[in-house]
């Protein structure tokens, strides 16, 4: 029963209208200010992102092309005896072929011959040898091979070496520049897309170094990370959210999971070093250890995302299922979990993307080793994308500068791809209630 | 359906389907239901009325132990269905809820097809022997839910795509698909427009042939239209329980009179 009869009447209505009108201008100004501050923040963020991408692209794009040279090589049976192949003097054969193309070079001078050979990548003799081993009939014939030039000439061709610097201060001599220009005039020089960046493993020679080892390593690391952290994370989240009694212990666990998500990654690396490598004797530099370490890091993220997704399923669906007689477990697995799946997958992918870019723990378990072949199992030594970037950034050769940027671009490309998948999943499976 | 039509009042004398004795419900410190005893007859519509927060929904949820899912909720007293104590340890709430169907305030179909909405209950309880058997169960439930003709051509369309009234009838069909004996309805029409409400009320009247229906409602007109028995709750007490006609024409408690004449609530 209300007692409206005793209530006081309204205060003067005109006065109220005036008071409200007086505050309007201030409120609108505040609103406009907020809008501009927000726009400004977004603008700054975008500018930073643009500067980052632009600087990476400007220094990295050159690495996506590689200067090659086509050389017609006469495989001299005197230099390369068929019965003694693997030790054959392929560098001499190549030097002779180079001398053929450059008539002014003195073929009797060993120093000249060495610098002629220096135009070619160190890998040229090995790739030629591989061809001959595969097909010994080539001995005595002339084959045309297309091989990368060595790093200084690649830089020269890309215009990264200033021809006006005094001779002693640059990596190539005036004579070598003249040779290179002659070769270029002959049309022997080309600059195709650098597939080797994706098909070669790491190398000391920038023109041969590629990301295959790192890509394969990252693949193993992420696979193991996913296989371990996804089921464990979802399992823990379902238990904590749906089944665990709400008491001091579950509060304690919840707080600690949140803390775990905030622990610096280098600490996980130390833990992995002590436990996985120290106690369990797992191999150093192996993706299995990297995967386990990153799984520890990713799990809290997955647990938190899964719990949030489970919480977001409307209680009416649980009630509906309970109402027709579903057991608790049936409610969770038939209704709640499928509805929470898009949220869980989004969280998982974001967690994995974070793991993909993680460097510090991998450094501690030795995944920054110099490894020239791609891992064929998670137990082989390997590097990962971020540690490969770390190694290249540390290398003095000029060719590695642009390769570092290129590797960063590849890493960013994968991260964007993963985030795009996360957004796509969220859009696709989003439900309206 | 004529909106103020009084449904037939001559009740067959039935044994009580549901008996509650000295039921108390507490949410932590709050005493939500105070010492309620009531006998709900079979094949009858019984309505619970009362102002918001009076405990009528809470009491309804005791009848299929939905309050079990709320951690802080404590139920004491004895509730029997067909003479069997439902709060006994030997009674599995899963079994009980198959026997006591429930329809909620907001239509809450599963985000699945219409067919799967109905088939879910029978499927988890293993009621269908074969695919054709299941088809039959689904068709039967949808026919009794008075929605068959509207959805028979799109059984595999999502249930959430139906209109509000259709969704609620789908939920009623889902509740009766497991062949319950009692049907609990928690304000089933509060989210529906008058036309959908009329359709659901008509359906409730028909369901009375086979079930003991208990309906919580805010609308006294609705209680008068659909129910034969009415219970009035106020502040956790069961104030008055009797023939609907008597409650609305000649209540014995002054609080009931105040409520039905609109002075409290």
Contact B120 A339 (CB under 8 A): no
Sheet with B100-103, edge to edge strand ranges: B100-103, B182-186, B212-216, B45-49, B229-234, B237-243
Domains of chain B: 16-260 (3.40.50.300)
Taking only the tens place, the pLDDT of each residue in B57-82 is 899 999 989 888 887 888 888 999 88
pLDDT tier, B89 (very low <50, low <70, confident <90, very high otherwise): confident
Mutation for B interface: A312, A318, A323, most B CBs within 10 A: A323
pLDDT value at A372 more than 90:
no
Q: Is B39 helix (H, G, I), strand (E, B) or coil?
A: strand
Residues A280, A381: Cα–Cα separation, whole Å:
17
Contact A322 B175 (CB under 8 A): no
Contact call for residues B157 and B210 (beta carbons, < 8 A): no
What pLDDT shows up at residue A39? Answer: 97
Contact A323 B104 (CB under 8 A): yes
Average pLDDT of the segment spanning B50-55: 86
Average pLDDT of the segment spanning A415-422: 91
Neighbouring C-beta atoms of residue A126, cutoff 10 Å: 14
Taking the Cβ of residue B97 and every Cβ of chain A, the question of whether any pair is shorter than 8 Å is answered with: yes
Taking the Cβ of residue B1 and every Cβ of chain A, the question of whether any pair is shorter than 8 Å is answered with: no
Residues A388, A141: Cα–Cα separation, whole Å:
41
What pLDDT shows up at residue A300? Answer: 93
Architecture of the CATH domain A212-429: Orthogonal Bundle (1.10)
Mutation for B interface: A324, A339, A340, A341, most B CBs within 10 A: A324
What pLDDT shows up at residue B12? Answer: 46
Residues B88, B100: Cα–Cα separation, whole Å:
16
Give the residue extent of every domain in chain A. 65-193, 212-429
pLDDT value at B3 more than 70:
no
pLDDT value at B10 more than 50:
no
Average pLDDT of the segment spanning A108-120: 84
pLDDT value at B46 more than 90:
yes
Average pLDDT of the segment spanning A348-361: 92
Please return the burial class of A379, using the count of CB atoms within 10 Å of its CB with bins 0-12, 13-18 and 19+.
middle
Q: pTM for this structure?
A: 0.82
What pLDDT shows up at residue A271? Answer: 93
Neighbouring C-beta atoms of residue B183, cutoff 10 Å: 23
Taking only the tens place, the pLDDT of each residue in A339-351 is 998 899 989 999 9
Average pLDDT of the segment spanning A359-372: 90
Average pLDDT of the segment spanning A426-432: 72
What pLDDT shows up at residue A127? Answer: 86
pLDDT tier, B11 (very low <50, low <70, confident <90, very high otherwise): very low
For the ranges A6-20, B139-153, B168-182, the lowest mean pLDDT is seen at A6-20
Taking the Cβ of residue B149 and every Cβ of chain A, the question of whether any pair is shorter than 8 Å is answered with: no
For the ranges A275-289, A335-349, B1-15, B89-103, the lowest mean pLDDT is seen at B1-15
* Angle subtended at Cα A232 by Cα A230 and Cα A236, rounded to the nearest 5 degrees: 120
What pLDDT shows up at residue A4? Answer: 57
Instruction: Write down the mean pLDDT value for chain A.
Output: 88
Q: What residues of chain A have any CB closer than 8 angstroms to a CB in chain B?
A: 1, 245-246, 314, 316-327, 330, 334-335, 339, 431-433
Which residues have CB under 8 Å from A232's CB, separation 6+?
A295, A299
pLDDT value at A391 more than 90:
yes
From chain B residues 242-261, the ones with a CB under 8 A of any chain A CB are: 258
Q: Which of A327, A334, A433 faces B94 most closely, judged by CB atoms?
A: A327
The Cα of B125 is separated from the nearest Cα of chain A by a number of Å equal to: 8
Neighbouring C-beta atoms of residue A257, cutoff 10 Å: 19
The Cα of A307 is separated from the nearest Cα of chain B by a number of Å equal to: 18
């Amino acid at each position: 029963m209300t007692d409206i009869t005793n209530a006081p009447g309204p205060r003067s209505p005109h006065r109220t209208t005036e008071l409200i009108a007086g505050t309007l201008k201030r409120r609108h100004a505040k609103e406009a200010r907020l809008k501009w501050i927000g726009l400004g923040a977004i603008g700054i963020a975008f500018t930073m992102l643009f500067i980052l991408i632009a600087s990476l692209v400007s220094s990295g794009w050159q690495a996506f092309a590689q200067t090659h040279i086509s050389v017609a090589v006469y495989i001299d049976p005197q230099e390369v005896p068929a019965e003694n192949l693997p030790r054959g003097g392929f560098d001499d054969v190549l030097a002779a072929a180079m001398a053929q193309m450059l008539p002014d070079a003195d073929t009797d001078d060993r120093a000249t011959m060495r610098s002629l050979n220096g135009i070619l990548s160190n890998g040229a003799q090995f790739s030629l040898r591989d061809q001959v081993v595969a097909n010994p009939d080539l001995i005595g014939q002339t084959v045309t091979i297309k091989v990368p030039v060595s790093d200084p000439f690649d830089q020269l061709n890309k215009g990264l070496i200033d021809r006006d610097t005094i001779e002693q201060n640059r990596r190539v001599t005036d004579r070598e520049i003249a040779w290179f220009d002659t070769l270029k005039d002959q049309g022997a020089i080309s600059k195709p897309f650098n597939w080797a960046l994706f098909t070669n493993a790491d190398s000391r020679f920038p023109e041969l170094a590629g990301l295959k080892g790192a890509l394969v390593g990252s693949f193993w690391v992420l696979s193991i990370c996913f296989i371990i952290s996804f089921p464990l994370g979802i399992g823990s989240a379902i238990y904590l959210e749906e089944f665990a009694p709400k008491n001091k212990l579950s509060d304690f666990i919840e707080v600690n999971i949140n803390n775990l998500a905030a622990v610096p990654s280098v600490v996980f690396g130390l833990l992995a070093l002590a436990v996985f490598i120290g106690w369990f004797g797992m191999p150093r530099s192996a993706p299995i250890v990297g995967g386990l370490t990153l799984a520890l890091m990713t799990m809290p993220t997955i647990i938190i995302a899964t719990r949030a997704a489970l919480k977001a399923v409307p209680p009416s669906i649980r009630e509906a299922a309970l109402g027709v007689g579903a057991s608790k477990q049936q409610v969770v697995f038939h209704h709640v979990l499928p509805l929470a799946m898009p949220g869980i997958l989004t969280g998982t992918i974001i967690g994995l993307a974070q793991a993909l870019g993680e460097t510090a723990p991998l450094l501690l378990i030795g995944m920054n080793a110099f490894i020239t072949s791609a891992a064929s199992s998670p137990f082989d030594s390997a590097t990962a994308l971020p540690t490969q970037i770390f190694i290249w950034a540390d290398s003095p050769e000029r060719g590695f500068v642009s390769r570092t940027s290129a590797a960063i671009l590849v890493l960013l490309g994968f991260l964007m791809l993963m985030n795009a998948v996360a957004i796509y999943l969220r859009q696709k499976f989003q439900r309206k209630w | 359906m004529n909106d103020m039509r009084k449904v037939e009042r001559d009740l067959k004398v039935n044994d009580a389907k549901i008996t509650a004795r000295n039921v108390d419900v507490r949410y932590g410190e709050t005493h939500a239901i105070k010492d309620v005893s009531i006998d709900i007859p079979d094949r009858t519509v019984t309505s619970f009325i009362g102002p918001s927060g009076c405990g009528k929904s809470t009491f309804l949820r005791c009848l299929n132990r939905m309050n079990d899912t709320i951690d802080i909720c404590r139920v004491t007293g004895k509730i029997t269905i067909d003479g069997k104590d439902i709060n006994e340890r030997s009674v599995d709430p899963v079994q009980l809820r198959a026997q006591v169907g429930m329809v909620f305030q907001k239509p809450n179909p599963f985000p699945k097809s219409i067919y799967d909405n109905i088939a879910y209950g029978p499927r988890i309880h293993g009621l269908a022997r074969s695919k054709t058997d299941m088809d039959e169960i689904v068709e039967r439930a949808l026919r009794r839910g008075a929605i068959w003709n509207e959805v028979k051509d799109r059984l595999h369309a999502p249930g959430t795509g139906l209109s509000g009234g259709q969704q609620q009838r789908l939920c009623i069909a889902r509740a009766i698909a497991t062949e319950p004996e009692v049907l609990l309805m928690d304000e089933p029409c509060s989210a529906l427009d008058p036309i959908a409400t009329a359709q659901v009320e008509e359906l409730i009247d028909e369901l009375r042939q086979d079930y003991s229906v208990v309906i919580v409602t805010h609308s006294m007109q609705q209680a008068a239209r659909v129910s034969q028995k009415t219970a009035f709750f106020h502040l956790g007490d069961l104030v008055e329980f009797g023939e609907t006609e008597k409650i609305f024409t000649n209540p014995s408690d002054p609080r009931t009179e105040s409520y039905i004449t609109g002075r409290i609530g």
